[in-house]
Amino acid sequence: MPRTVVIAGASGFIGSYFTQRFIDEGWQVRTVGRDTSADAQWHDDGAITKALDGAELLVNLAGRSVNCRYDERHRREILDSRVLTTRALGRAAARCAERPRTWINSSTGTIYRHAEDGPQSEVTGEPGSGFSVDVARAWEDELAAAVAPGTRKVALRIAIVLGAGGVMSPLRNLARLGLGGHMGHGTQKFSWIHVEDLFRTVLFVHTHAELTGPVNAATPYPVDNRELMSLVRQSMGVPFGIPTPAWLLEAGAILIRTQTELVLKSRWVEPRKLLDAGFAFEYPSLAGALNEIAEGKAKRSLT
């Protein structure tokens, strides 16, 4: 009999990838989301309980994109899409006759402070301040408050996820337009993880019961922004890119309605718990990850 996983927020870039990979690995997949194609919608607690009951693993990826201006409406949507969905899963799990063995709930590596002086691990990392950090704290607090006896709950503090979508699209577009130089000073750290390694991390955490509390999901080899943009250009065969000073990023961010924090904050996330538990990354280096993504896009365009 196939094992069952429930993926909440399955319609996005990561959720779509996870759905296919779990199917590839022989799992039965149930979904929770806004789409009518999901097995349960967020407004239906009974349907969510039915989806969770008897499942082995719950993976919650729900959350509105943060690629927007942080005005009052967007702040509320960003917070609610994380906290209220986690709360709904907690209500449903409490009603299950047979709860999931593991509940892996998304969180973010942005919970740590701007760090150019050293890595931020689960134990020694220092929390930052500001709206994004407040959201991360509320998200993790909601998971901790959920009453689900017998279920191991893990907040996965995810770095920037790379794959055929997500953050790569705007970076590749900038490089294509000749604007793929470093951003700001270019010394800010870029912590990242390939989407396949994120999937493998979820399976690893599920099978390693000793992993508790928050777990950082990031490659152990972050790069700075200069190297990031250089490797993006190389993977696309673009010979040069014009640097973008911080003041111009601020002006441009207003025009395209996003936040400069997404590229100027130094994220240096250390996956100490994963490394200590013996996890091996399939894509530890950024060059290898970007080449795989570029090759994958080329293969898809030929099919």
Calpha distance 161→209 (Å, rounded): 24
Among the listed residues 46, 48, 53, the one whose alpha carbon sits nearest the alpha carbon of residue 38: 48
CATH number for the domain including 64?
3.40.50.720
pLDDT at 255: 55
Output the pLDDT for position 258: 59
Edge to edge, the sheet with strand 160-163 lists 165-166, 160-163, 192-194
Please tell me the predicted confidence (pLDDT) of residue 257. 58
- State the pairing for strand pair 28-33/40-41: parallel
CB 135 within 8 A of CB 144: no
Instruction: Give the pLDDT of residue 14.
Output: 94
With a cut of 70, list the residues of the chain below it in pLDDT.
Answer: 251-260, 297-303
- The per-residue pLDDT for 291 is 87
Q: Tell me, what's the pLDDT at 301?
A: 44
Residues in the chain: 303
Cross-strand pairs, 59: 7, 104
Structurally, the chain folds into a number of domains equal to 1
Bridge-based pairing of strands 223-224 and 189-190 is: antiparallel
For residue 35, give its domain range: 4-302
pLDDT score of 11: 87
Going by C-alpha positions, the residue among 265, 233, 259 that lies closest to residue 78 is 259
Q: What type of residue is 300?
A: R
In tens, the pLDDT along 70-111 reads 789 989 999 999 999 999 999 999 999 999 999 999 999 999
Query: Per DSSP, what are the bridge partners of residue 32?
Result: 8, 40
